[in-house]
Amino acid sequence: MTKVHVTTTINGDPTEFLCEPDETLLDVLRDRLGMTGSKEGCGTGDCGACSVTLNGRLVCSCLVLGAEAEGQEIGTIEGMAQGENLHVLQKKFIEHAALQCGICTPGLLVAAKSLLEKNPDPTEEETRYWLAGNLCRCTGYDKIIRAVMDAAKEMREAA
């Protein structure tokens, strides 16, 4: 199989890469581009650790082919903070101790950001259902839900 040449944008940076036609976007990010912030917990779309956005839409990058990134805009955890300024969600996750081991954290942050872009004032139930695709084995979700809802509140107040 010959490799595919892909031209795309990742976190605003114009990016080119070669990948196998059957290679996932997650593998491209991690193994070819050195962007290891997105994690592989399952490779089958069941854990959300690999969450990224594709033209603003939340996807599991383990279920997207690298070749599909052609001409698209990809957003990953590495693009969430602006320079040294953390996103409100990132600050709230630290403040609320919403991570123990932290392996689920990048995926949860990407997913939560995409929730708040769609729904700036989610209820607890809406937050729980939106994040139901992101497994966390350490926290029991309590502090994660609190962090996301507190971030939503702060973002609403700042808006």
Partner 1 sequence: MALDSKSDLPQFKVVGTRPARPDGIDKVTGRARFGADMSAPGMLTGLILRSPHAHARIVSIDTSKAEALAGVHAVVTRKDFREITDDDFTADILDNCMAGAKALYDGHAIAAVAASSTKIAREALKLIDVTYEKLDHVTDVDEAIEDGAPVLHEGRSDETVPAGMSPNVLSRYEFGHGDPEEGLKNADHVVERTYKTEATHQGYIEPHACLAQMGPDGQGDLWVCTQGHYMVRNTCAAILGIEQGQLRVTASEIGGGFGGKTTLFLEPVALMLAKKSGRPVKMVMTRSEVLRATGPTASTSIDVKIGMTKDGKITAGFAEMRYQGGAYPGSPVEFGAMSAFAPYDLEHVKTIGWDIVTNRPKAAAYRAPGAPMAAFAVESAIDELARHFGLDPLEVRLKNAAREGTKASYGPTYPAIGLEATLRTAKDHPHWSAPLGENQGRGVACGFWFNFGGDTCVTLNITPDGTVTVSEGNPDIGGSRASMSMMAAEELGIPYEKVRTIVADTGSLGQNEVTDGSRVTFAVGLATIEAARAAKREMCKRAAMIWGIDEEAVEWVDGAAQPAGPNAGKFPPMTLAEIAETASNTGGPIAGHHEANPEGAGVSFATHMCDVEVDPDTGAAKILRYTVFQDAGKAIHPAYVEGQFQGGAAQGIGWALNEEYIYGDDGILQNAGFLDYRVPVASDLPMIDAVILEIPNPGHPYGVRGVGETSIVPPLAAVANAVSAAAGVRMTDLPMSPPKLLAALHAKG
Question: Judged by CB under 8 A, does residue 63 bind partner 1?
Answer: no
Residue 137 within binding range of ligand FES, rule CB under 6 A? yes
Q: Does 68 bind ligand FES (CB under 6 A)?
A: no
> Least Å distance between CB 2 and partner 1?
13
Is residue 41 within 8 Å of residue 22, measured between CB atoms?
A: no
Q: Which two tokens stand for residue 128?
A: 């729980």
CB 61 within 8 A of CB 53: no
Q: Rank residues 120 and 129 by Cβ distance to ligand FES and give the closer one.
A: 129
- CA distance linking residue 123 with residue 128, whole number of Å: 9
From the list partner 1, ligand FES, none, partner contacted by residue 150 (C-beta under 5 to 8 A by kind): none
Neighbouring residues of 17: CB distance < 8 A, sequence distance ≥ 6: 5, 6, 8, 28, 32, 33, 66
Given the rule CB under 8 A, which residues bind partner 1? 20, 30, 35-44, 46-47, 49, 76-78, 80-81, 86, 90, 93-97, 99-106, 109, 124-125, 127-129, 131-146
